[in-house]
Amino acid sequence: MLKVKKINVGYGDLQVLWETSFTVKRGEIFALVGSNGAGKTTTLKTISGLLKPFSGLIKFLDKNIHGLHPYKIVEEGIIHVPEGRRLFPGMTVLENLELGAYTKKARVKRRDSLENVFNLFPILRERKNQLAGTLSGGEQQMLAIARGLMGAPRILMMDEPSLGLAPKIVLKIFDAIKEINENGVTILLVEQNVYHALKIAERAAVLESGRVVLEGRGEELLGDEHVKKSYLGR
């Protein structure tokens, strides 16, 4: 469904990704794991159009999307839930969700989507008229994911959804991710929390210093010696 092929990306003179390739299949949860600074966020930024690759190509449903403006990519149904959530803190929860459904396609389905995310995260319904900036960390992450869902995604890319959250809430978030996937949304998950990510992912890739060093089924990778040693501390 989403094919990333030999992309080279960087900021100015500093190259971050080197010939990175992987493929996300329709309906699966694909995890991109690796340590800090490996280039995971850069990969997502490149797919969503915030960064332009020096070379290489990105295909979504047989359409080349690399180099397109971010809003065009959102219109294709590729939704990026960014690292650090990046909500609109001075706007209400409801307004944040409405902005999630900004594109024409998403706007049509607005009511259904809203019902949908409120069922997924009931707490947001209670908080809907509160300013986003006043929510707790876990609620903010839920709102960020919900805002992404409002965009009627065909593929939802999530960057570190567990970052800075209490263990109990992390589990809740991962449950929600599974549920979203079961409802038919393909998911590209970027995580530092390698164990949890590999646990729910059908397939995964390990990124090290901007290169994909391993790719395979989630369970396989969990059993891999290198992964165990480097990321799971066993």
Partner 1 sequence: MLWESLLSSIVYGILVGGVYALISMGLALIWGVMDVINLSHGELVLLGGYVAYWLFVLEDLNPLLSLPLAALVVGSIGLIMEKFFVSKIKEAPALNTFLLTYGIGIFIANAILQIWTADYRRVNVSFFLETVSLGPIRVSRGDVLTFSLSFGLIMFTHIILTKTYLGKAIRALTEDRIAAQLMGINDKQVDIIAFVMGSMLAGAAGSLFVSLYYVYPALGGWITAKAFIIVVLSGVGSMSGTILGGVMLGVAESIATTLISASYRELIGFVIFIITLLIKPSGLLGRSSH
Site of interaction with partner 1 (CB under 8 A): 48-50, 69-71, 74-75, 79-80, 82, 86-91, 95, 98-100, 102-103, 106-107, 147, 151
Smallest gap from Cβ 22 to partner 1, in A, equals 21
Question: Cβ closer to partner 1: 83 or 208?
Answer: 83
- How many Å apart are CA 199 and CA 132, to the nearest integer? 31
- Residue pair 156/77 in contact (Cβ under 8 Å)? The answer is no
Residue 157 Cα distances to 105, 130, 144, 148, 220, angstroms = 18, 26, 12, 9, 22
Q: Which two tokens stand for residue 4?
A: 């990333």
Smallest gap from Cβ 163 to partner 1, in A, equals 16
Question: Cβ closer to partner 1: 25 or 86?
Answer: 86
- How many Å apart are CA 1 and CA 146, to the nearest integer? 22
Smallest gap from Cβ 86 to partner 1, in A, equals 4
Smallest gap from Cβ 230 to partner 1, in A, equals 31
- Residue pair 46/7 in contact (Cβ under 8 Å)? The answer is yes
Smallest gap from Cβ 117 to partner 1, in A, equals 15
Q: What is the DSSP letter of 108?
A: H
Question: Cβ closer to partner 1: 98 or 215?
Answer: 98
Smallest gap from Cβ 82 to partner 1, in A, equals 6
Question: Cβ closer to partner 1: 75 or 219?
Answer: 75
Q: Which two tokens stand for residue 168?
A: 């109990």
Number of neighbours of residue 36 by Cβ within 10 angstroms: 7
Smallest gap from Cβ 28 to partner 1, in A, equals 22
Question: Cβ closer to partner 1: 100 or 218?
Answer: 100
Residues 6+ apart with CB under 8 A from 153: 77, 78, 79, 185
List Cβ<8 Å contacts ≥24 apart for 214-219.
215/22, 218/31
- Residue 188 backbone dihedrals phi, psi, to 5 degrees: -110, 110
Q: Which two tokens stand for residue 110?
A: 């607005």
Question: Cβ closer to partner 1: 41 or 162?
Answer: 41
Question: Cβ closer to partner 1: 86 or 226?
Answer: 86
